[in-house]
Structure 1
Amino acid sequence: MADKDCTIGVMIHDSYTDYTKEMISGISTFCNEKNCRILVFPVGELGISYSPFEYQHRAIAAFANRNNLDGLIIATSTQGNHVSKQTLIDYVHSFNEIPLVSIGIEIPEVPSILVNCEPGLRAIITDLIENHKRKKFCVLAVEGNSIEAHDRLKVIKKVLKEYKIELNDSDIILGAFTYESAADAIAEHVKEYGSLDYDAVICLNDDMAFACIDYCKDHGIKIGKDISITGFDDIKRSAYINPSLTSVNQQTIKQGFIAAQIIWRLIQKQKVDLITPISTVPIFRKSCGCIELNDSSTNYLDLNYNEIKFESSDRESTVVEWIAKKAQLLKMNFFHSSSQAEINLEKFRKTFKGNVQQFDINKGAIVLFDPPLYKDQNYTSIELPEEAYMIAAFDNHKNTMIDPEKASVKFNPRKNILPQEFKFDSKRLYYVSTISKCELIYGYIIYEKGSFEELLYEMMITILSHLMSSAYQNTKKEEAAKLLTQQNEILSIMSTTDEMTGLLNRRGFMAFGQQAIYMGLCKDQSGLVIYGDMDGLKIINDTYGHDAGDIAIKAEAEILKSIFRATDIIGRIGGDEFCIVAPGLPERIIPRIKGNIQKACDNWNNCENHPFRLSISLGYAKFEKSYSSLVEIMQKADESLYKEKKLRHKQGLKITNT
């Protein structure tokens, strides 16, 4: 395969942490050399959602296939923190129709880049003991299934044991790789043991180390003097926090570069090693005591304790960067405020380019699923529909865009992630994100990031999701209102009423019943479709004549009208068949309704002087966002009715009317 045709996918948990930014930077460097394009899929983490509907992010993994990619790099180190290793292995292998590379975790039969955490941790622990005379150690660790956390803790225990320093269970404080979890864990430890009585705290990542630093500062513990604190990852903030943080650098940019190099070789059918190790390196700063607190010129000391100074432009660029980010935040705030307006899909299409290019996006496309896909948090994979619509797209590099006045471009997303006419450029990096709200996936967006802070693009996606959801619902309301008007015009000419009972006839019921379902769902209401079949009407007709049968039908219709609400849609859809659409009616009410109808039939039988008895069997089915076709729901309700009749026959409850 020629270099120019190569598209490499990158599956990550998010797009804004320093880890993923550096990894993607390394991948981009190699891909630019080889003329490859990149599609980035921020799918979240397996087995956990940090917000109620974050699980929808993983829907875009459906596009990681041979139709869209030549190879896929998966950041397994951040994917597997909350699942078993076997679950992670099975997940990675589910993409094995294309060449794969794993970064962080060894996956059988998949080339894996493994970070050796021991060199960096060993150097830092040795420094703490030999140079700073630390003797009482605590580890801020991670509970759960994280393989990386397990490996780091294992190395820490190993090196400390070599110095005859044992860690008790009480010396290991369990957090969850986040600042908040670490702060809570430290507070719980102090509550139980009275203090943070250690002269060294080794944290399994930098965010947890920041929490430890803040605790010590708040409680008058002198960092670098009374206590040494170290982290892991060496994220950008580590150099600028006060005091600066001693950490372990994973050479993440190098990981990304090598991963791209390996996947490219696999695509070219070249042999590669299954395991590629990368060593960590120590970064000594103020928090361990290696750099004086008043030293403002030294960034860090390397493995050989050589001083690495800040570049003269580093601090100036930090100030300039903050000013730029403040302006970016103001734009995001304005976008959020303007997104409160009620719009439809037509308006959404027309404003899409202006909305996103203000965030320095020069190429983007957004795709709509109609209807949206319903997915709850239990789903593990997604089956894409055969039809989707690219409703808006633009490319400032080529000065082109979809004319919003023309129809959306329909295509099959199972075959391609975008229509063929909207091509990806080589040497460019695109992000793919789900557009969703709550349980509904409305589509996805593909875009080329600009110069804005990465987290702001996540916020932009969230706002676009709310906008598109609102626009879709408003459009459906408009279409429903328009359809209702058209139906009223038609129904003013043709009768919708069953002449015998005064109920809707089948045509009228299908029109108004479907409309009632749509209107209910627009108000976030589910409901029931109830199917009724009179018992023994044929026997009544055969025994007592059709006039008697007509009396029975009219009486049953009156009973149904008396039991159901004025807002429910009731129709006679056949000789002895009735159907009701009841928005907002919960399933738990069904037994009461059946009882009330049976009681009304019994009262009629006792009060009216007729030789036959009135009775009806009922079945029902539920409608909801993921199941809204009246025809299909009626079929399901009819199946329920069949089971009800079968049960009544079995229990000897058949009404014979003899």
Structure 2
Amino acid sequence: MGNKNKCRIAFLLPDFNSEYTVAISRGALKAAEDLGVSVVFFGVGELGSPLLYTQNRNKLFSLVYPENFDGILYLSSSISNNIGVKPFLNFITKYGNIPSAHIGIKTTNSTCFTIDDRSGMYAVVEHLIKVHNRRKIAFIKGTSGLFEADERLIGYKKALSDNGIKFNEQYIFEGNFIRERGILAVEEFLDNRKISFDGLVGANDLMALYAMKELQKRGFNIPKDISIAGFDDLPSAKSYKPELTTIHQPATELGYMAVQEFSKELITPSSKPNTFDLPTQLVVRKSCGCNIENPTLIKNIFSIPYIPDTTKNEQEEFTTILNGMTRNIIGSFHEDDICQVLDKNLRLFNIENFTIAKYIDDNNVQIFYDLKTHSKKIVSTKHLIINYSKVNKNSYSRFIFPLYHKNQDIGFFISDANQNQLRILEELGDHLSAALKATDLLDHALKYSEQLEKEVALRTKELAERSKELENALEKVKQANKKLEWLSVIDELTGLYNRRGFLTSSKQNIELAKRNDSEIMLIFFDLDGLKQINDNYGHKTGDIAIQAIANILQMSFRKSDIIARFGGDEFTVLSINCSISQYNLIQKRINELINEYNKKPHEFILSVSSGATQYKINEDFTLKKLLDEADKELYKAKSKKNCKH
């Protein structure tokens, strides 16, 4: 895919956090600039890591499209640290036959870049033996099966053997290059195995430093009681007290050489893969027992152009900018606010290219932010990576960082950077991940709120409709209750009060009459011959007779009078302030209406008997007494009528 003079390389590293990977990256970046090679750095994490934040980085393996590059360079020793070399080599077969090169391991099929791990470890162990007379030297080794770890263990064993010290497995602890396991190593040696030692060497600086801290915590004097040494010569080796004696690993030079030699091979392929080894150097400081303030390094066989470090003032300025930037990002819960913070601050770090992409699915991403174009379009992931990997007139380097929150992959961002900005971008990535997660949560909350509002509106509408239905139902119930109430006090055949209705209404009217000191008249009516009508003509005809007398009573009495069908053929009327003379007129009216009715052709002759009683309300008055008196009068009237017949 490259031309005669240029090529593009995908460089896969675990991250840009550790001092070792930063040193490797700085050298590789410098080589790319000097040689005009385009390099895209992917922070893919370690394979098989038990740590969630490292596992999440593995998503970036899927962003490496072999057709975009002329070759792939791996920091293989770090990526394969948890699973071993063979599973790692099997994993990367998915990239096909694209040329590849490895840092930190040796394989016969690819170009490899290593350091002389064995000689380096031999030198530091022999220094403890010969200079400081240490004979019981514990060793915290790296991951078994890794080239670097195995070579350093061999160097440790050979130094013991050459100096007449028998190797003892009890003095070995597998630390897997993990810093915290330096503490576990001390606990294992002292608390579980109960062994004493006068020297301790870590297969890397971080394990040695953490072991030293634990020993100091337990009251050991370093180096008087125990001499300590490491391997790497990281910047942190000089930041502890006492400063750490170690083996200088030329990590920056290793990164530079890897890009330089691999790009040469891609432009002019060789007949077989090459292996490049860089020598190491012993750096003596105070942790072993020496009293050297500023050790000097012998000039390395492989030298690279000078890479300036940031000054203290520059570092403080970058830190101030980053702190303000991340505070504003974390405090932003809207996408536009985050974009404004990035617009304002990225160029303060001399960053000219910066793109954030959020995963939509396995094949597509949404551009969340682009420093140059401010595009928000949806593109295929492959297309985006291809655009950033294109060879143009000017070579360039890009760094791809993952964005994730806990076990959720959010997306990634692509940025240019110089040698001193890698850790800044890593920290920025952490804060961007948190901010993007917060915006997603807020967005989901707002959408959920909107959905709830819609549902509430819909439910409110439904409830309103239901309420209307309920109102209608209640009205029907009300009407039904009224009907039931009406039926409970009204005689269905005549529409007059029934016995219950008469008694209820009469009590109310009697109370009113009592307050007004009024007289009450009660009249009983009896439909004559109803039984004969029913027997001779049927109950339907009997009902007609009952309805006829009911109508006549309604036409004869006042509206204020209470008229009721008391039961069967009996009717009652309660009248307030009705005199005897008035009643006689009413009786006359009733007779006239009956006569008119009988003039018309009917199967029966309509006739009624009546008895009335008038009463002045006093304390002894009861409705029952009034009914009894009226009933007696009715009986008298019927008796007279029967005597006449």
TM-score, with structure 2 as normaliser: 0.63
Aligned to 1:542: none
Match of 2:356 in 1: 366
Q: For the Cα contact (< 8 Å) 2:144–2:150, is it kept in 1?
A: no
- 1:460 aligns with 428
Partners of 1:70 and 1:60 lie apart in 2 by 18
What is the match of residue 617 of structure 2? none
The one-character-per-residue Cα deviations of 1:150-180 (angstroms, maximum 9, x if unpaired) are 2211221123123221222221133332332
Deviates more, 1:456-465 or 1:338-347: 338-347
Q: What corresponds to 2:20 in structure 1? A: 19
Aligned to 2:43: 42
Tell me, yes or no, if the aligned pair for 2:366 and 2:378 is still in contact at 8 Å. Answer: yes
**Which whole-Å CA distance do the structure 2 matches of 1:393 and 1:71 have between them?**
27
Equivalent residue for 2:256? 257
Amino acid at match of 1:391: F
Decide whether aligned partners of structure 1 residues 3 and 348 sit closer, same or farther in structure 2, where only a CA change above 3 A counts. farther
Task: Name 2:235's counterpart in structure 1.
Answer: 236
Q: 2:393, 2:439 → 1: CA distance? A: 30
- Indicate if the aligned counterparts of 1:38 and 1:430 stay in contact, CA closer than 8 A: yes
In 2, Cα distance between equivalents of 1:338 and 1:72: 37
Matched, 1:410 2:397: no
Residue of structure 2 in register with 1:532 after alignment: none
Alignment-derived partner of residue 192 in structure 1:
192
Match of 1:474 in 2: 442
Cα offset for 1:419? Answer: 4.9
Q: Which residue of 2 aligns with 1:208?
A: 207
Are 1:281 and 2:280 counterparts?
yes
Q: How many residues align?
A: 461
Cα separation, partners in 2 of 1:110 and 1:143, compared to 1, 3 Å: closer
Kindly tell me: are residues 324 and 272 of structure 1, through their superposed partners in 2, closer, same or farther at Cα, counting changes over 3 Å? farther
1:141/1:175 contact within 8 Å kept: yes
Is 1:137 paired with 2:109? Answer: no
Q: Kindly state the Cα deviation for residue 225 of structure 1 after the two structures are TM-superposed.
A: 4.5
Contact 1:64 1:72 (8 Å CA) reproduced:
no
Query: Is 2:300 aligned against 1:299?
Result: no
SS in structure 1 of the partner of residue 228 of structure 2 = strand
Q: By how many angstroms is 1:485 displaced?
A: 7.2
Structure 1 pair 121–279 and aligned structure 2 pair: CA distance change class (3 A):
farther
Matched residue SS, 1:414? helix
By how many angstroms is 1:478 displaced? 4.3
Inter-partner Cα distance in structure 2 for 1:228 and 1:302: 24
Q: Is the 8 A contact 1:437 1:466 kept in 2?
A: yes
What is the distance in 2 between the residues matched to 1:465 and 1:332?
Answer: 15
Match of 1:8 in 2: 9
CA shift digits 1:583-608 (9 cap, x unpaired): xxxxxxxxxxxxxxxxxxxxxxxxxx
Secondary structure class of the residue paired with 2:237: helix
Question: Separation in 2 of the partners of 1:283 and 1:113?
Answer: 20
- CA distance in 1 between counterparts of 2:216 and 2:388 reads 57
Contact 1:8 1:38 (8 Å CA) reproduced: yes
Change (3 A) 1:343 1:443: same
Shift of 1:74: 0.3
Structural mapping, 1:476-515, within 5 Å:
476-478=444-446
Residue 432 (structure 1) aligns with = 400
Over the residues paired in the alignment, what is the CA RMSD in angstroms?
3.9
Q: Helix, strand or coil: the match of 2:295?
A: strand
What is residue 60 of structure 1 aligned with on the other side? Answer: 60
Larger mean CA deviation between 204-213 and 475-484 belongs to: 475-484
* Runs of 5+ unmatched residues, structure 2: 301-307, 471-645
Please name the residue that 1:613 is paired with. none
Shift of 1:483: 7.2
| Cα displacement (A) at 1:103 | 0.8
Which residue number in structure 2 is paired with residue 121 of structure 1?
Answer: 121
Contact 2:15 2:45 in 1 (8 A): yes
Instruction: Supply the distance in 2 between the matched residues of 1:302 and 1:198 (Cα, whole angstroms).
Output: 31
- Specify every segment of 5 or more residues in structure 1 that has no aligned partner in the other structure, as ranges: 305-313, 374-383, 395-400, 503-658
Task: Letter of the 1:361 partner, please give it.
Answer: I
Distance in 1, Cα, partners of 2:115 & 2:418:
30
Deviations 1:122-169 (A, max 9, x none): 222333333333322211224555442222112211231232212222
Q: Which residue of 1 aligns with 2:600?
A: none
Counterpart-to-counterpart distance in 2, 1:491 and 1:189: 69
- Cα distance in 2 for residues equivalent to 1:214 and 1:462: 28
2:343 to 336, 344, 353: 353
Q: Deviations over 1:397-443 (max 9, x none)?
A: xxxx224xxx6233222234165799988443321012222343232
What secondary structure sits across from 1:402 in the alignment? coil
- 1:96 offset after TM fit, Å? 3.3
Kindly name which structure, 1 or 2, has the bigger radius of gyration based on alpha carbons: 2
Structure 1 residue 472, shift from structure 2 partner: 3.2
Deviations 1:232-276 (A, max 9, x none): 111122244333322222322332223213321332242164241
What whole-Å deviation, never above 9, does each CA across 1:505-528 have from its counterpart, x for those lacking one?
xxxxxxxxxxxxxxxxxxxxxxxx
Aligned to 1:161: 161
The whole-number CA distance in structure 1 between the counterparts of 2:369 and 2:299 is 52
| TM-score between both structures, scaled by the size of structure 1 | 0.62
Counterpart amino acid of residue 388 in structure 1: V
Pairwise CA distance, 1:362: 3.1
CA distance in 1, matches of 2:179, 2:65: 36
Contact 2:15 2:44 in 1 (8 A): yes
Q: Which residue of the partner structure matches residue 448 of structure 1?
A: 416
For residues 391 and 458 of structure 2, the distance between their equivalents in structure 1, rounded to whole angstroms, comes to 46
> Identity across aligned pairs (percent)?
18
**Counterpart contact for 1:137–1:198, Cα < 8 Å:** yes
Q: Could you tell me whether the CA contact under 8 Å between 2:228 and 2:287 is conserved in 1?
A: yes
Aligned CA distance change for structure 1 residues 476 and 164 (closer, same or farther; 3 Å) = same
Q: Secondary structure at the match of 1:286?
A: coil
Aligned partner letter, 1:38:
V
2:150 counterpart residue number: 150
Specify which of 326, 333, 338 is matched with residue 328 of structure 2.
338
Residue number in structure 2 paired with 1:393: 370
- Partners of 2:103 and 2:430 in 1: how far apart? 28
Q: What SS class does the counterpart of residue 139 from structure 2 fall into? A: strand
Q: Which moved more, 1:484-493 or 1:233-242?
A: 484-493
- Is the CA contact (8 Å cut-off) linking 2:330 and 2:431 kept in structure 1? no
Deviation of residue 461 (structure 1)? Answer: 0.6
CA contact (8 A) 1:142 1:204 kept: yes
Residue 119 of structure 1 contacts residue 279 of structure 1 at CA under 8 Å; is this kept in 2? no
Moved more, 220-229 or 358-367: 220-229
| Structure 1 contact 363–448 (Cα < 8 Å) conserved | yes
Contact 2:333-2:442 within 8 A present in 1 as well: yes
Cα contact 1:48–1:55 (8 A) shared by 2? yes
Task: Confirm or deny that 1:31 pairs with 2:27.
Answer: no
Letter in 2 for 1:120: G
Equivalent pair of 2:325/2:345 in contact (CA under 8 Å): yes
Q: Which moved more, 1:464-473 or 1:332-341?
A: 332-341
Q: Say which SS state the counterpart of residue 159 (structure 1) adopts.
A: helix
Per-residue deviation at 1:480?
6.0
- Matched residues in 2 for 1:53 and 1:424: separation? 35
- Answer yes or no: is the 8 Å Cα contact 1:128–1:288 preserved in 2: no
**What residue identity is the alignment partner of 1:249?**
H
Shift of 1:4: 6.7
CA contact (8 A) 1:23 1:252 kept: yes
Instruction: Output the amino acid matched with 2:121.
Output: L
Q: Quick one: distance in 2 between partners of 1:15 and 1:341?
A: 25
1:465 Cα deviation from its structure 2 partner: 1.1
